Structure formats: C-alpha cells, structure tokens
Amino acid sequence: MAEIGIGIIGGGYMGKAHSVAMASVGAVFNTALRPRLEMICATSVASAERYRAAYGFARATADWRVLVDDPRVEAVVIASPQETHRAIAERALALDKPVLCEKPLGASLADSLAMVAAAKASGVINMVGFNYIRTPASQYARALVRQGAIGEVIWFRGEHTEDFDADGLRPAQWRNFGAANGTMGDLAPHMINAALALVGPIARLTADIGTVYPDRPGAEGREVNDDIGQFLCRFANGAMGHLSFSRVASGRKMGYAYEITGTKGAIRFDQEDQNALWLYKAEGPEAERGFRKILTGPLHPDYLPFCQGPGHGTGYQDQIIIEARDFLHAIATATPVWPTFADGLAVAEVIAAARHSAATGAWVSLEAS
C-alpha cells in the first residue's frame, strides 16, 4: 500500500472539506494510494499554521509556490479563490503533479481554456471538484437515465438556489465583486454540470442574468456582480431545458434540485433531501401510478462504504470523500476520471454562452464549441 503526499491550497470552507476527505478516504474506501497530509497553504503564516495543527498536516506555508514545488508534495488540491486556479494548476502540471481543482475550473473562459491546454500538454491526471453530482441518489439517477428507465429524456429543469445573500441590507463582501464570484460563477457551474451529466451537451440557449441589489451597503460605487440568472436551452439530443440560479432565493438553503421528464417516466431530486430520489414510471393501472420515494441504501452507488443501513443517509462531507477516492484511483491507475478539466471547460463554455446571450438578447449556439 503506497503513500502519496498531498498538498492543499486553501484552508477555509473547501480546504477543510478536502483535508478531512484525504485524512479519511483510505479508511472508508481502502484505497490503493493512502494520502499523507504533507503541506497546507493559506494567505498568512499564522492561518496556515493554524490549519496545519487543526487538520494534521506535516507542514504549512503562506506561499502556494513553495507547496507546489516541494518534492514531498506529489498531488495538489486547489481550494483557493477562482482567480488563483490557473497559475497554480499550470505550475503543478508542468511539474507532473496531478491536480484536483475546485469548481469552477477557471475564473474565466480564457483561464479554463489555458488550463485544459496545460493538462493536455502534460498528460497528467486532472479533475474538477463537482461534488453534488456524487451523492448516491444522483449517481443512481444517472444510471436510471442511461438504462432507459424513464424512456427518452424530453425535458430537464434544474436549479441551484440559496438565500445567503437574500438580505439586501447585508454589507457587500468579496462574493459581491467580480464575475467569477457572482451567481453565474459560483452556483451555476454545479447545476450546469448536473445537466450535462444527466442529459448531455447543450446545443443552444437564451439567458437572462441580473443583480437584485446593486447598491449594497459598503459597495462604495463599485459594480456589484449578479445575484440571479436563468436560461432556456435545447440539448443536443433534442430535449428542452430550463436552468435557474439564485443566491437571493429566500428560504432556500441548498436548492440544488432537478426534474427529468422522459417518455416513460420521470425523476425528481432535491439536495435538501439528498438521501431520497423520487421516481415515476408510466406503467401499471393508471389509478395506482405516482411518484415513489426511494431512500438510498447499500445497493446504491458509493453508499455501503459509509453505512450498512438503508435510509441512514450520507452527508456533504461524504461527497468530498467520494471525490477524493476518484482522484486517488485516477492517479493509481493512470486513468482519467470524470469530471476532468475538459469537463470543467464544457461548463465554462455554457456560462460564457449564457453571459453572451444575456448581453445581446439572442439565442447562442454551442454546437461549434
């Protein structure tokens, strides 16, 4: 059983999640590669040292270049702000070090294109952190669609809605500035990734994007980014779709939800009830038809390693542990694991098309992308 030195850049919300995942993934999944928490990086020496002591890393630094260049750091996890992703990934890939980068891939389409080019040139394992699609329920939904359990998909509705910015009097913070930190850069990538995974490529779309609170206290004349967005789309397979995103959706805490309608049935899912999937099949007596709630259990993907009891459930941290397992498996087998940087680019292309559509008021085609 081999060890691999892990370096994580960022110690906050996602930095902690990835640290906990790397510390526990070997025990949960009995991985061939066992992570060694080698180094963590934060914005100051004091905070980096605090994270090191809390999470169990051997060393800490305030300079991401020191972490990436260190020979004992053999794989890099990027959990820092979007605008830092490109430079870190390019340097790590140039040193032949596998990279797991939190979503979105880059702060812009140009960054994402450059990161994919660097990954392709290096031939090194790369992966993007879209964790929500890894719940046992959503993995099962993907399997049902692929098996044709609901027939041909004709309609998809997806949303990622939360209310952490619903108070218009809350002073502006870093999330309120810069396109990469707005709703289309922060929340939209997760549901777009889900749509691509569940239904397939998007052929064309028309979008509307807006700012509900342009004059937040503390903005001091600076332009506040987008609070809300939506688009209609047509998938390459002919299915129609509607996706919406909001950080001002009062009452919604983790509104990552979707409905998939097929010619023989339908599927519903809501992340606020992440251990349940609702399935409808157009079969049997009409009077007895209806959606039935399926509680996830050991027979569903990636559930059993966490718990032997049906309905007991998995949680947010478990999604990140599954993600860590996939990353380590990709490294151990030298085989790319979805979603790669290229898959992250596909999401970035949809977001760029949506921004262009919102600016011009026109339908935008992605088929030539």
Same domain, 28 and 140: no
Least Cα distance to 158 among 196, 113, 210 occurs for 196
Give me the residues paired with residue 160 across strands. Answer: 245, 256
Asked, for residue 262, whether it belongs to a domain, the answer is yes
Question: Sign of the C-alpha dihedral, residues 293, 298, 300, 304?
Answer: positive
End-to-end CA distance of the chain: 42
How large is the average pLDDT for residues 102-112?
96
Same domain, 116 and 177: no
pTM for this entry: 0.96
What is the tally of structural domains in the chain? 2
Amino acid at 212: V
According to the 3-state scheme, what is the secondary structure of 27-72? HHHCCCEEEEEEEEECCCHHHHHHHHHHHCCCEEECCHHHHHHCCC
pLDDT band at 188 (very low <50, low <70, confident <90, very high): very high
Same domain, 269 and 295: yes
Measured CA to CA, the distance from residue 209 to residue 200 in angstroms comes to 23
How large is the average pLDDT for residues 140-147?
98
The total of other beta-carbon atoms located within 10 Å of residue 152's CB is: 12
Asked, for residue 327, whether it belongs to a domain, the answer is no
Are 138 and 225 in contact by the 8 Å Cβ rule? The answer is no
Asked, for residue 321, whether it belongs to a domain, the answer is no
pLDDT value of position 220? 87
Asked, for residue 332, whether it belongs to a domain, the answer is no
Q: What is the CATH number of the domain that holds 235?
A: 3.30.360.10
pLDDT tens digits along 267-319: 999 999 999 999 999 999 999 999 999 999 999 999 999 999 999 999 999 99
Boundaries of domain holding 93: 2-132
pLDDT band at 162 (very low <50, low <70, confident <90, very high): very high
Are 199 and 260 in contact by the 8 Å Cβ rule? The answer is yes
Amino acid at 112: S
- pLDDT of 225 higher than 80: yes
Same domain, 73 and 218: no
Amino acid at 350: V
> In terms of DSSP bridges, do strands 99-102 and 126-129 run parallel, antiparallel, or are they unpaired?
parallel
Same domain, 116 and 141: no
Same domain, 126 and 194: no
Which of 82, 100, 132 represents a domain boundary (last residue)?
132
Asked, for residue 322, whether it belongs to a domain, the answer is no
CA 33, 76, 74, 122: dihedral to nearest 10 degrees?
A: 110
Alpha-carbon 50 to chain mean position: 27
In Å, how far are 56, 94, 142, 199, 345 from 335, measured between CA atoms? 29, 18, 21, 24, 19
SS3 for 299?
coil
Measured CA to CA, the distance from residue 340 to residue 41 in angstroms comes to 23
Asked, for residue 257, whether it belongs to a domain, the answer is yes
Same domain, 304 and 250: yes
Least Cα distance to 333 among 121, 78, 33 occurs for 33
Q: How many residues does the chain have?
A: 369
Q: What is the CATH number of the domain that holds 34?
A: 3.40.50.720
pLDDT band at 368 (very low <50, low <70, confident <90, very high): low
